[in-house]
Amino acid sequence: MSFNLKVSPLDPAQAVVDAIVPAGEPWMHKLSQGQVFRILDLEGNQAVDTLFFSAQDPEEHYSMTHTIQAQGALYLTTGTVLMSSESRPMLTIVADTCGRHDTLGGACSCESNTVRYALEKRAMHACRDSFMAALAHNPYGLHKRDIASNINFFMNVPVTPDGGLTFEDGVSAPAKYVEMRAEMDVVVLISNCPQLNNPCNAYNPTPIRCLVWDAQ
Amino acid sequence: MPMTFADLPPLARAAVPATSTAYSPELVLWNELLAGGCHWSGLLRRGNTLRLTDVSGSANVSALFFNQEEKTERYNIPDTLKAQHTAYLTQGHVCYSDMGRILCSIPLDTCGWHDTMCGVLDSATLEKKYGQALYQTHRNAMHRSGMDGLLIELNKWGLGRRDMNGNVNFFSKTSANAQGQLQFDRAHRAAGQYVDLRFEMNVLVLMSAAPHPLDDAPSYAPGDVQLTAWRSGTAGVNDPCRLSCPENDRGFINTERWFL
């Protein structure tokens, strides 16, 4: 699963949701089965840390390990089925003009920033704080325990055959997008990443655009 | 320059031992056999090391780790891999929690590659792969998936499926090609290989010895695992796990602060 580029036929003018999510903000939205969800990278190489929960049973969530295991491969692109912790398809990626998305790199946190960059970086903004902020007001009963390993849309984290892990320059660019069809009713939780310590976004977190179309 | 161990106040530095102690039989606290396909959980206290030994060269140990004092803090795969720029675990690596602390470190490993990306099999997939083997017909030779084994152990501690967030698969090697496709390496394992987990915190350990999810062996034959715990002490000032990267120096500072 790698660089399976596919352009979407959907027209933004027909979208039922069209929202700009600024850098550093969480965004939560419920999708119905059959709806199509697009995330658009407005300025390029923006990390979009994304989790999905079953709307019927929020204890069922997107699972990195189930998704990797089901496709026997690490990267996400057109055709990848995003699997739940109960081994059920949650969403299918149906269009992708970027070609590769990461699910190994997780979400930044204040605590992991102290490890990765410097103990003095604790106060800098991080995705898991955005997740916690969203959880503090969520109507679904979600808890820290439910924050599983996420997807990083538009991020490129290649694994080498000898087991090295690197954060490469992004393969995304302004206006590239990824689009997925909900296979069940799901709650989307995004942290539009505020990371300022990593060159993967050119040290410049930028806004994204989220669109939803009803079942075609 | 970011703060390092050398910049800590004297009392904080004094709390770290000069070295941990290598294995020797008189330090052993307990031994137990984890039979292939079976599951286990228990508390490993800070300063003790658990040696996992692949008895027959066909073992897989799917393991979860929690901070026993605050169980919402748990093993975190991305934080572990990112901090150490690796896609697998071996000697010199540590296992990070989601709170920037080190649950355990790996001072010694004769196996060389432990997968931590592929998860565990669920029961439906296990049955599709190896056929049905219920207790009614197979008694103690029944099959139980890694998922069910770990869920049983999680529930013993008041935890459950919400706490299941990615495990290590000790003794199993899966490598990726340029397209990211994963290959299980059956030739990687050998009888007698062992890996030492030195606990840097008080850690609730849950394990299943069910087959690795990508193991392409046609028959169900998960190997036994010898568990040996001994009193090793925690990582010393110049421990290779602490020095293997600047990130781990900071991870140990975070960890040691929990116990000051």
Per-residue model confidence as pLDDT tens digits over B145-160? 999 999 999 999 999 9
> Does A109 reach chain B within 8 Å, measured CB to CB?
yes
Residues 42-61 of A with CB under 8 A from B: 59
Residue A199: per-residue pLDDT: 83
Average pLDDT over residues B112-119: 98
Contact A104 B87 (CB under 8 A): yes
Q: How confident is the model at residue A89 (pLDDT cuts 50, 70, 90)?
A: very high
Give chain A positions within 8 Å (CB) of B180: 1-2, 73-75, 158-159
Residue A167: per-residue pLDDT: 77
Contact B213 A69 (CB under 8 A): yes
Give the 3-state secondary structure of residue B163. Answer: helix
Is residue B227's pLDDT more than 90?
A: yes
CA–CA distance, A8 with A94 (Å, rounded to integer)? 8
Report the chain B residue with the minimal C-alpha distance to residue A121: B2
Residues 189-248 of B with CB under 8 A from A: 213-214, 247-248
Query: Distances from the Cα of B67 to the Cαs of B47, B95, B104, B203, in angstroms?
Result: 14, 12, 10, 5
Give chain A positions within 8 Å (CB) of B96: 112, 115
Is residue A59's pLDDT more than 60?
A: yes
Contact B124 A87 (CB under 8 A): yes
Is residue A119's pLDDT more than 90?
A: yes
Which pair of tokens denotes residue A172?
């995304």
Give chain B positions within 8 Å (CB) of A112: 76, 79, 82-83, 96, 98, 100
Residue A1: per-residue pLDDT: 55
Cβ-nearest to A119 among B179, B180, B253 = B253
Contact A164 B100 (CB under 8 A): no
Indicate whether this model's pTM tops 0.90. Answer: yes
What's A41-103 look like in SS3?
ECCCCCCEEEEEEECCCCCCEECHHHHHHHHCECCECCCCEEEECCCCEEEEEEEECCCCEEC
* Residue-wise pLDDT tens digits, A138-162: 999 999 999 999 999 999 999 999 9
Average pLDDT over residues A71-76: 97
Select from A95, A215, A99 the least CA-distant residue to A158.
A99
Contact A65 B120 (CB under 8 A): yes
* Complex ipTM: 0.97
Residue A168: per-residue pLDDT: 77
Q: Quote the crossing angle between the two packed helices B246-258 and B77-84, to the nearest 10°.
A: 130
Q: How confident is the model at residue A202 (pLDDT cuts 50, 70, 90)?
A: confident
Contact A164 B87 (CB under 8 A): yes
Q: Phi-psi category of A85—alpha, beta or left, where left has phi over 0 and alpha has psi -120 to 50?
A: alpha
Residue spans of the domains in chain B: they are 5-258
Q: To probe the interface with A, which of B71, B79, B148 has the most A CB atoms within 10 Å?
A: B79
> Does B85 reach chain A within 8 Å, measured CB to CB?
yes
End-to-end Cα distance, chain A: 26
Contact B117 A120 (CB under 8 A): no
Contact A166 B85 (CB under 8 A): yes
Contact A104 B124 (CB under 8 A): no
Select from A79, A113, A116 the least CA-distant residue to A5.
A79
Q: How confident is the model at residue B89 (pLDDT cuts 50, 70, 90)?
A: very high
Average pLDDT over residues B61-67: 98
- CB count, 10 Å around CB of A209? 17
Residue A113: per-residue pLDDT: 97
Chain B: give the shortest CA distance to residue A208, in Å.
23
Average pLDDT taken over every residue of chain B? 97
> Does B151 reach chain A within 8 Å, measured CB to CB?
no
Chain A: give the shortest CA distance to residue B159, in Å.
10
What percent of the residues of chain A are helix, what percent strand, and what percent coil, each to the nearest 5? 15, 30, 50
Residue B258: per-residue pLDDT: 98
Contact A112 B79 (CB under 8 A): yes
Segments in chain B forming alpha helices (H): 10-14, 77-84, 123-130, 135-138, 146-156, 240-243, 246-258
Average pLDDT over residues B241-255: 98
